Structures are given as C-alpha cells and as structure tokens.
Amino acid sequence: MQSSTGTSGEITGQTALVACAPMSISTAAFPRTFLRYELFEQGNRKGCYPMKTKLLSLALGAAAIAMTGTVASAATLDDVKAKGFLQCGVSTGFPGFAFTDDAGNWQGFDPALCRAMAAAIFAGDSNAVKFTPTTGKTRFTALASGEVDVLARNTTETFSRDVDLKFTFGPVNYYDGQGFMVRKSLGVTSALNLSGATICVQTGTTTELNLADYFRANNMTYEPVPIETNAEAQEKYLANACDAYTTDASGLSATRSAFEAPNDHMILPEIISKEPLGPLVRQGDDQWADILKWTLLALITAEEKGVTAANADEMKASSTDPDIQRLLGATEDGFGAMLGLDNDWALNAIKAGGNYGEIFAKYLGTDTAVGIERGLNALYTDGGLMYAAPIR
Amino acid sequence: MSVAAELDGPAEPFRLSQLFYDQRYRSITLQIITIAVFMLMVSWLVTNVIQNFEDLGKTFGFDFLWQPASYDINQKLIEYSSVSPHWKAAIVGILNTLVVAFLGCILATIIGVAVGVARLSKNWLVAKLMTVFIEAMRNVPVLLWILLASTVFSSALPSPRQAPVMLGGGFVPTNRGFYVPAPVFNDGSIILGIIFIASIIGAFIFRRWAAARQARTGDILPVFRITMAILILPVFVMFFLLGMPIGLELPELQGFNFQGGLYIRSSFMALWLALSFYTAAFIAENVRAGIQAISNGQSEAAYSLGLPPSRTMNLVILPQALRIIIPPLISQYLNLTKNSSLAIAVGYMDVTGTLGGITLNQTGREMECLLLVMGFYLIISLLISGAMNIYNNSVSLRER
Amino acid sequence: MSDTHAETVRYVATHELPALPAPVNTRGPAAWARANFFSTPRDTILSIIVGGLIAIGLWKLLPWLVFDSVFVAGSLNECREIDSGACFAVVTSRFNQLIFGFYPPELFWRPILAFVLMLVAFAPVLHDNLPRKMLWFSAVFPLLAYWLIWGGTIWGPLMIIAMIALAFVAFKAVAKSVNPVVGLLAAVAVGILWMLFLHDPIVSALSSAVNVGLEPVESSKLGGFQITFIIGVTGIVASLPIGILLALGRGSDMPTLKMICVGFIEFIRGVPLITLLFVASTLLNYFLPPGTNFDIVLRVIIMVTLFASAYMAEVIRGGLAALPKGQYEAADALGLNYWQATRLIILPQALKISIPGIVNTFIGLFKDTVLVSIIGILDPIGIMQPIRSSAEWNGIIWELPIFVGLVFFIFCFLMSRYSMYFERKLDTGHRN
C-alpha cells in the first residue's frame, strides 16, 4: 500500500520539474488517493512522494492548501528516498547541540548526525536533509506522526519512551548525566548542600523528574523554577533568579561556556542521573532503525580506526586493514545493500562531517566555545564508553 | 391536522419535490441533511482516531490520572508532592489558574477604571500619558508583555542576598519574587473572625435602615463613615482586648532564600501584572466609551436638581454608564482568564502547565490531557458568560 | 416706553464691528499651558509630578536606548566593547532572520512581492472608492501568494482556478435547469472529482510539457514576521467565508443548524488559542485518516482559521443585527427568497458595517499568532531563541523583544487607526 512510485532515484544536480507516475488508488477502506507534489531542494534533488489525503482538505477549500507531507509508513527508507531528503527533528536551539548560523543553516552535534545519515542514504549528499525544530513538548508527536523521519534532539533513552511511547532508540551518541551548576560565590560544594535552594529546571524533560527524585531521596526541599528553554534558563540563572541550574552536564558546560565570566560558576561533582542521549525513530521499521544504528556505529568505528573525513577516500584505496575495508566498502561484502543503501554508505557518512571524534571536536570539544571534555564519550580504548559493534 | 388540511384547501398528494419546494417541509429536509452531514463528519473523525490509536498501539483512558506525577510544583495551594497522583497536579494547576485569573480581573478593573477616567482628564499631560499607555499595551502581543515582565522581574531586581528589606521586614522584593508578612492565627482569632462577620451583618442592617429612614424622612446620614466605623471599631477593640491573637510572620533570610512570610513568586507577578495591565488597557477604553456615552444633559439635569457632583456620579452617571461598561468588561475577564494559559511561557504552573504541559509530556496522553484542559476552560467560560447573560437581562432597559 | 427709548439711543451700529482679539491670557502657548496643565492647584501639582516622572524615566532610559546603543557589531562582546548601551546590532545582523526566517536570501523578492500584492489585493476591500474590477485580483491573490511564497509549478494554482471556474459553470448550468441547491451539490461534486482524479495528472502532464515554476521553498524555512503575516492573513481571509456561514447559521430559524453553529462558536471562543495550537501540534493527525500528515504550518493555519472564524462569526452577527429591520422586511416584500435577500441586500450592507470589527479581529489574530512560538514555530518570538543560542549573541536580553514589540506596535496601531477611521466614515450613513 505504501507505494513509492514516481521516484527518480538519480540525483541530477539541477532543478527541474518531475512528472509523477500515474496515481494509484489505495486498497484501504476509505477512498484515498495519492496526490503528488513536486518537491525541490535548492540544487539537486527532485522527486515526488505519495501523499494520502483528503476529502477533508477539499472541505477546507483545497485551493489554499499548502501541503507538503509524508506518509508514516513501514518503509521509511523508501519514502525518504522518494521524497529526496531526510526530515530530521532537532531542538529549537541548544549551544553545541543544535543552533543556526548567520545563514540560517542548522549546525551542531545533532544536525551533524542527520547530515551523515543523509549522506549515507543519498550517495554523499549531506545536504539532502531538512530540519524541523521541535520543543520538548512537540518532539515525540513529531516523530510518531511521521512529520520527521528521525529525531536527533539530545533525547534521553528511557524505558517508557522506548516501550510505552513506541520508539526505537539508536545507539547512544552522548553519555550524559544530570548535574548542577552554581555560582562559586554561593560557597556550595556539593549538591547535598542545596536544601532550600531555588533551582531552575527545564520542563518536559527527564531532568525535572530526576530532580524531584533526588531531593526526595535525600530528604531535602527545593523550589523548582520551571522554564521552557535553555536560553531562558540561562537568563534566569545569570540574573540570580535561581541558585542552581540543573540539566544534563553537557548542557551545563555548554551554557557555562557562553557566560561572560565562566570561572565564577562551577558544576557540582554529583551527577544525579544517567542520561544516555541518542537519536530515535518510530518503532516497527527495523530497516530504518538499522540504518540509523549503523550509520552512527560507522562513525564511531571510523574514529576507532582513524578514518577521518579527509583521509577516508585514501584509506579506502590504500588501507589493508580488513575492518577499514569493510567499513569503507572496499570489499564486496555488500553491507550497504543489506541496509538498502549503496556500498559507499559509511564512506559517505564519514565524509559528510567526519568521524564521531571529529564531529565531537567540531561542535562540543575543548577547542570550541562549549568546551566539553570527551569523558564518558571517549572511545573505550581511552577509558570512555564509545564501543561500536563490529561491522562484519 | 384535518383542520389545517381543510384550511389549506383540498389536500394534494404528496410529491417528493415538495421536500425542497414546499416551505412546510423544506426546513425539515434541510435539517435532516445537516444532521446527517454533521454525524457523518463526527463519525469520520472518531473512526480516524480509533484507527490511528490502534495503529500506534495507544489506548484511551483516564487511569493515568491516578499514577504518581513524580514532578514538583512550586506554587501549590493544596498539599502536593512528587508522589501525589496526576489528578492532584491538575487540581493544583486549576487552582493556580483561578488565582491568577481572579486577582488579574480585580487588578485589571482597578487599573482600567483609573486609566479610563484619567484619559478623560482635562490635564493634557495625564490624558496623553494614558493614551500612550493604552495604545502601547493594546498593540503589542500579550505574550511579549508577559515575557518582558518576567525578564524585568528576574533581571532588574536584586537577588535575595542583596535584597533590600523594606518596611521593617514587611516587604522584600527579590528577583525570585516578593516576600510579605504572613498572618499567624493564634487562639482567639476565631472569636475575632466571628466578630468581624457580625460587624458585616450589622453594617448591612444599618444601611438598610438608613435607606428606609431617608425614604421616610428625607434625612441623609453619613452612611459611608458610619459603615466603616461599624466594620472596623469592634474588631479593633477586640483585637487588643483578646491580646492580639493575630500576629505577623516576617520573612527572614535563611540559607539560600527568605523563609517565612508570604512568598509571591516572580512568575506569578509577571503573569499577573502583564495580564492585568494588558487587559486594563482594553477595560480603560470600555470605561471611557461608557462614560462618554452618557449625554451631558444627564449630569446637567442632576446638577439642576441640586445634586452635588459626587452624588451625580454615584446616582446618575455610573448606573447608566455601568450598563454599557459591564458586558464588554465581562468579556475582558473572559479573555484574561483564557490568556492566563500563557503562564506556560514564564513557568507559572497553571492548568496548562501541569495537566496540559508536564503531565501530557510525561505520560504521552495528549488526547486525554487536552480534552480535560479544554473542558476546564470551557466550563469557566460558560459560567462567566452565563453570569453575563443574567446581568444583561437584569439591567436591560425595560422598554414600554 | 418705546418712544423714550428711541430718544435715548445715541449710537446705532451701521456695520458689523470686527471681532476683537481674544484676551491675552486666553490665547497663545501660555494660555494653552495654563488651561491644560495649571488650571487648578491640584492640576498643577499633578502636572509637575507626572512631568517629573516622565522626565526621570526618559533620563534613565534614553542613554541606554538611544545615545549609547550600538547598531553595527558582529557579536555581543563586540557590542559591549563599543559602547555601554543597548546592542541593536543583533537586530541589524539578524534582520533577515527576524523578517523572513530561514527563507533563502536570493528569493526574498518573492515574499516582498507577495506582501506588496497583498496590499493591492486588500485595497478594494478596504476602500470602496476604488474600481470594483480590482476585486478580481483580490480573489486570485491567495493562490498567487501561495505560489510566490512556497514556489513550485505554476500549474497547480492555475488548475485550482480552472477547477473553480468549472465548478461555477456546473453550478450555473444545473441551477438554471434544475434548482440552485442541486446546482450547489453539482459544483461541490465537480470540485471533489477534480481534486481526486484530475488535478494531479493534469498538473504533472502540464508541468512536464511546459516547465514554468519557481524554486520551491518548504515550510520549515518560513519564519520571522513572514510567518506571522502568512498565518494571520490566511487565517483571517479563510475565516471570512466560514464566519459568514456560521453567523447565518446562528441566525437561522432551523434549530439543529443553529445548535451546531452555536456549539462550534461557543466551543472555540471558550478555550484559549494555545490549547487549540496544542491540538494542532499534537492531536490533529489523529483526526485524519491514518498516514495523513500535513506540515505543522498548515496544521496551525487550519486551527487558527477555525479559531478566527468563530470570532468572525460573532463580528458578522453583530453586523447582521445592526441592520435595520426594514431592510429584511423590504427584501421580503420584494419577493426575494432567503439566499437572494442575503446575497443582494443583507450581506453587502452587513459586511460593510462589520469591516471595523473584521479589522479588529485581524489585529487580535495578528497579535495572537505569536503563540505559535510555544509550539516551536520560529515566528518573531520563536526565532529569538536560536539567535540567543548562537555563540555570538548568547546573553542578549532586551533588544530582540523591544524590536519585535515595536514592529507589532507599528502594524497594529496603523490597523486600529484605519478601523477607527472607517468607523467614523460609516457613522454618517446606515444608522437610522
């Protein structure tokens, strides 16, 4: 039923209109048709994608309707290929993880993963991706409803999100934990000294639940100041409207880095929760989940093996390490085909923005304004937790 | 039926086209079509929902309301902690909504009436200043005002440790909120309460008696002063006789924050003030329009009857102006109540913030939570507009 | 008596004497100031206090806001190095994002053109002394604007026009030969059939034959004041016909129809817009056939349209109620049926009376569109967040809301003035 007719699989690198294949009538009980809309991306993608609608839209006056939509389907890969781009949900703005540059392009640790996925799917075109900013509140609905194909929005993997909300999490791309940031002048050295404090916490996140649990477990009181976004939290914290700001430790470092005087603030040693952050997709499409999983693992493997964006092509040609050969598609194992992709999928993903370490260094690392140490996110060989399952 | 048929002349056999062309049937035909289309739409929507829920493996039900909420709420008027169930969090939110809406309506009315009257001032400076206030408030989105107010409170006021303690501990403005003394009720305060209630009843009785007396003899007593005396004096005297049973608890800086006293959070203040000022601008315009709608002849007639200006206002102008002012005033109250849902932008935990916000987020029950939230607002709106209709009927001009 | 009187008269004016100038103390700036500032001692004190407060306020605010503010800088830190005042450089450097969102800069001419055309399209509606022919342009404008902003092939909008024309022809033909109600059904049927079976193949065929189109821009690139205008204007335009139908339904003497209309209007007016937007962002998909998915901008427009139409219905109901009863009776007396009377007599007058109310509804809606920032659409308020998250402008507080508030103020103020002007103009007629 989820046909993806009307696809022109090739990327021609020019803007052109595409005639879509003749329509088909779905077999479902309710009469639906596939209306086809031509989609363009600046540059080089084209295609049609099926869209089910809509006696309703007629009732609404079809004339004014500006629809671009996708079908939440079992074969997400086919849909994504058909429409010619990957729709990726990111945060509305979080230093280091997702932000827009002056030209309005989304940048950051999370968008970089989407670009790598896009490159893996679209033969190296890392721009074949569109970003949907989501809030803590809208992110899961956006994914569940098919508005986005993958959600890369520093989201904590939890039991209920996996099982109850029916998502499939990819591998963890950032091991985090919830911490507290306070002013040094406050004289607090441990989170256990925070009884009675006013604490800024983002709503709609796991952090506010952890916070409640932690204070309850330690028999302390606190005054929560719920806020919607990181920018507001920062404003409130800097104005001293809360004594402490709690969020994932990465977020704390990122936020602190942007302060005028970062050294006046300290992050308390207690990490009160485990926050494995990872990208996620809808449950029920194993192929799609596999693509997400192995794209990320390929990036980590690349770091393990020293494959970078710069040397990937050369490594593919010259490396004799069978691991690297398999990773970069130098052998004819057909791993790409098993995923429904081409043989260079991992090579393209790596070339899009570099391996895991490069991406980390570019957006979060100690050389950036955010300035986060690798810590738990170092490779297992360096004492971290990044340990990619082998590609073989 | 037979009578009607006789009156209409000889009965014609019924034709199908009569359903459309005959006035007697057409309205029924159209109504049946309307209902059919409406039911079709509704059933279509409901089937879609059922189908979608099935596809996603979701269920519909309100049992989640009895699960522990596991989040904390800062401003709570009833006992609540993170182990309380979701329904209790919803109640906390509802109460918070009602508090900010109620206090907002009061403050908005006070400011609105003051500004509306001041706008008619003969003093050019005052009139213009009020015009600027009204236009600035009305033409900028209320969300922006709420955000600005929140920023003002958190960025422009001092932190608790630097906060000035004003009025001997009676008032402490900080960037987290304002601390004022809280009343402490000791033994004997119940007696004081009973006396106060008795005074109110006494004042009522006095006023009725004074009105009757005025009708009988034409004498006018200084009603306002005597009423105030009845209300205040007995309580005041008893307060000292009973050994000052009601005390004040002053806020004191302890640890991170002030402890004791009443703590009015800045999120509440920002929302409350922004909503009040925004709505006040609209109320001011209603008040101005109401006063201007009363023709000059009314006040001139009152003066010529010998009424002093204060009585002219109270007995002649206001009763007439109020009839024009109150209906739009009540719809402004309604708007204020609905706008209080923007609390979510400043982290004030109203019903949209708890039930429609955190609970929705943590449980993933969008349908149930939003139904409940919308139902709540709908009930409030219907109550308020019901009250308005009753008022409208009671003051509508009895046309003869 | 009269004689005596006549004798005592010494002077009889032969011509009108020129008026003497008013006494010195009642004219000139001094007198104006006295009348307006110092007429009584109480007034004087009030003037001094209020004037003093204004002066102090300006004294404190102006240096920060104007004298020491910075308009050109690359980042907040640069700003702070240049001067101590407000850093409006964030507005100048991110101006495009605040106005257009992430719309491709080389295509800015399209929304600008759409905006200018919008003014042209609204002109004949708001000014009744312009040629009536211009209304045709107003009717075509929505499709034109859609095409300009979102781009894509020209054939889509053109075929919609064709569909409407075809439906109209069908209506005329059937209405003449059979009956208007059946004609309406025929028109709707033609429209549905067209959209279901003909639209896409024809558009595809035409666009593959003759490739005329603009580069498409997807909804997620829309933002800033552009999205405010798109949502606000679409909402108000689309809500007008729905609002008219609801108002007529509410005034109808058919109880079921009336009940449905009243129920809808009161429901929408009884809940806050933000809850409807939550419905748009989290629930709307559940109400549509499985697998259907609109993008969020469209979902928001749908909900905003429903929201506005309830308010619009009340405005138009007011217009209908304000018409003198004689108009209805005269229409009946002429033997017009309901639709003829409504179309030819009632609605033209009621709508004209309602224009100030419609403009006021639009102002309200225009301001309310900022709520979409809460569900993650990057409107002027929403876009502040990515800007504030960027490394250059992290820590900026006041400047962005001040700019956004000022723009809103200018637009809303002008519109409210227009509405008041129109109200005054209307006041001369139609009231009896």
Residue B277 sits in the same domain as residue B375: yes
Same domain, B200 and B339: no
Our CA angle for A382, A386, A391, nearest 5°, is: 115
Whether residue B289 is found in the same domain as residue B360: yes
Structural domain span for residue B211:
182-249
In total, chain C counts a number of residues equal to: 432
Tell me which residue has tokens 């009376």.
Answer: C353
End-to-end Cα spacing for chain A: 34
Residue B25, domain member (yes or no): no
Lateral strand order in the sheet of A244-248: A222-227, A197-202, A244-248, A178-183, A265-267
Percent of chain C, pLDDT > 70? Answer: 95
Cβ(B77)–Cβ(B95) below 8 Å: yes
pLDDT digits (tens, 9 = 90+) for A7-44: 333 333 333 333 333 333 333 333 333 333 323 333 33
| DSSP line for B373-400 | HHHHHHHHHHHHHHHHHHHHHHHS----
- Cβ pairs bridging A and B (under 8 Å): 91
DSSP conformation letters of B67-109: SB-----SS-SS---TTSBHHHHHHHHHHHHHHHHHHHHHHHH
| Token pair recorded at residue A66 | 């500006």
Question: For chain B, what percent of residues have pLDDT higher than 70?
Answer: 93
Contacts of C129 (CB under 8 A, 6+ apart): none
Query: What CATH number is associated with residue B355?
Result: 1.10.3720.10
Chain A residues within 8 A of B152 when measuring between CB atoms: none
- Write down the pLDDT at residue B188: 74
Q: What percentage of residues in chain A have a pLDDT greater than 90?
A: 23
Q: Which of B1-5, B60-64, B96-100, C193-197 has the lowest mean pLDDT?
A: B1-5
Distance CA C301, CA A66 (A): 10
Cβ atoms within 10 A of the Cβ of B339, count?
A: 25
Q: Within a 13 Å sphere around the CA of B119, how many CA atoms are in the beta-carbon half?
A: 25
Q: Which of C275, C286, C413 sits opposite B377 (nearest CB)?
A: C275
Is the confidence at residue C430, as pLDDT, over 80? Answer: no
Q: What is the mean pLDDT of residues B108-135?
A: 89
Nearest to C254 among B27, B51, B341 (CB): B27
CA distance A352 to A335: 19
pLDDT of A233 over the 60 cut: yes
Tokens 């009732």, located at residue: A59
Domain topology for C219-432: MetI-like fold (1.10.3720)
Q: For position B8, what pLDDT does the model report?
A: 53
Residue A279, helix vs strand vs coil: strand
In a domain, B14, yes or no: no
A42-86 per-position pLDDT tens digit = 333 333 333 333 333 333 333 333 333 333 445 888 889 888 899
C69 three-state secondary structure: coil
Minimum distance, in Å, between the CA of residue B234 and any CA atom of chain A: 41
Closest partner residue to B358 among A186, A204, A227, by Cβ? A204
CA distance B45 to B40: 9
Q: How confident is the model at residue B399 (pLDDT cuts 50, 70, 90)?
A: low
Q: What is the pLDDT of residues A359-384, one digit of tens each?
A: 999 998 888 877 888 888 999 998 88
Q: Give the separation between CA A354 and CA A258, rounded to whole angstroms.
A: 25
Interchain proximity B366–A165, CB inside 8 Å: no
Nearest to B74 among A136, A224, A243 (CB): A224
Put simply, whether B342 touches C (Cβ < 8 Å) is: yes
Work out the average pLDDT over B53-61. 81
Please determine, looking at this structure, whether the domain spanning A178-273 carries the CATH number 3.40.190.10: yes
Sign of the alpha-carbon torsion through C102, C106, C112, C113:
negative
Partner-chain contact C374 B345, CB within 8 Å: yes
Q: How confident is residue B29, by pLDDT bands cut at 50, 70 and 90?
A: confident
Do A325 and A276 contact (CB within 8 A), yes or no?
A: no
What is the interface pTM, i.e. ipTM, of the complex?
Answer: 0.85
Give the best residue of A92, A114, A153 to mutate against chain C (max C CB count within 10 A): A92
Q: Which residues of B touch A (CB under 8 A)?
A: 56-57, 70-74, 81-83, 151, 153-155, 159, 175-176, 254-257, 259, 266-267, 344-345, 347, 349, 353, 357-358, 360-362, 364, 366
Query: Could you tell me the pLDDT band of residue C273, with boundaries at 50, 70 and 90?
Result: very high
Contact between chains at A130 and C218 (C-beta distance less than 8 A): yes
For residues A141 and A215, the model is more confident at A215
DSSP states of A297-335: HHHHHHHHHT--TTTHHHHHHH---HHHHHHHT-SS--H
The reply to whether B161 and B287 lie within a common domain is yes
pLDDT tens digit string along C131-153? 777 788 888 888 888 888 888 88
pLDDT in tens, B281-318: 999 999 988 888 888 888 889 989 988 877 887 888 88
- How confident is the model at residue C143, as a pLDDT? 85
E-state strands within C129-230: 152-153, 213-214
CA distance B39 to B42: 5
**Tell me: the pLDDT tens digits for B201-232?**
998 998 888 888 888 887 777 888 888 888 88
DSSP 8-state class, residue B64? G
Interface check A208 vs B, CB under 8 A? yes
Whether chain B has a CB inside 8 Å of the CB on A235: the answer is yes
Three-state secondary structure along C323-388?
CCHHHHHHHHHCCCCHHHHHHHHHHHHHHHHHHHHHHHHHHHHHHHHHHHHHHCCCCCCCCHHHHH
Q: What is the pTM of this model?
A: 0.80
Write out the DSSP string of C81-146. Answer: HH-SS-BTHHHHHTHHHHHHBT--GGGTHHHHHHHHHHHHHHHHHH-TTS-TTHHHHHHHHHHHHH
Per-residue pLDDT, A360: 93
Which 3 state secondary structure label does DSSP give B252?
strand
B264-280 mean pLDDT: 92
How many other β-carbons are positioned within 10 Å of the β-carbon of residue A391?
Answer: 16
**Do B197 and B115 fall into the same domain?**
no
B7 in any annotated domain: no
Of the partner residues A225, A228, A236, the one whose CB lies closest to the CB of residue B345: A228
pLDDT tens-digit profile of C363-417?
999 999 999 988 888 889 888 888 887 777 877 888 889 999 999 999 999 988 8
Q: What angle do CA A305, A310, A313 make, to 5 degrees?
A: 75
Residues B295 and B389 in one domain: yes
Put simply, the answer to whether C143 touches A137 (Cβ < 8 Å) is no
Rg of chain C (C-alpha set): 30
Q: How far apart are CA A237 and CA A232, in angstroms?
A: 8
Q: What are phi and psi of B327, to 5 degrees?
A: -55, -50
What pLDDT is stored for residue C389 in this prediction?
Answer: 74
Q: What's the pLDDT band for C428 if we cut at 50, 70, 90?
A: low
Which chains, if any, share at least 3 CB pairs under 8 A with chain A? Answer: B, C
The fourth-level CATH superfamily of domain A85-175+276-382 is Periplasmic binding protein-like II (3.40.190.10)
Q: Are A360 and A302 in contact (CB under 8 A)?
A: no
Question: Which pLDDT score is estimated for A9?
Answer: 35
C255 shares contact with chain B (CB less than 8 Å): yes
Q: How many CA atoms lie within 13 A of A251 on its CB side?
A: 30
Judge if B95 and B166 occupy the same domain: yes
| Assigned domain for B152 exists | yes
Identify all chain B residues contacting C363, using CB atoms and an 8 Å cutoff.
139
Instruction: List chain A residues with CB under 8 Å of C393.
Output: none
pLDDT-based confidence at residue C34 (cuts at 50, 70, 90): confident
By mean pLDDT, which of A214-228, A289-303, B232-246, B355-369 is the weakest? B232-246
Q: For A100, list phi and psi in degrees, rounded to 5.
A: -105, 145
> B 268-297 residues with CB below 8 A of C?
none
Please determine, for residue A290, whether its predicted confidence score (pLDDT) is greater than 80. yes
Maximum C-alpha span of chain A: 71
Check CB contact of B386 with chain C, cutoff 8 Å.
no
Q: Which part of chain A has CATH 3.40.190.10?
A: 85-175+276-382, 178-273
Would the pLDDT of A257 be above 50? yes
Q: What is the pLDDT of residue B53?
A: 84
Confidence at A133, pLDDT banded by 50, 70, 90: confident
**Average pLDDT score over chain C:** 84
Alpha-carbon span B89 to B93, nearest angstrom: 6
Q: Are residues B374 and B275 in the same domain?
A: yes
Question: Is pLDDT above 60 for B183?
Answer: yes
Helix (H, G, I), strand (E, B) or coil at A89: strand
Mean pLDDT computed over every residue of chain B: 84
Bin C156: left if φ > 0, else alpha if -120 < ψ < 50, else beta.
Answer: alpha
Classify residue B63: in a domain, yes or no. no
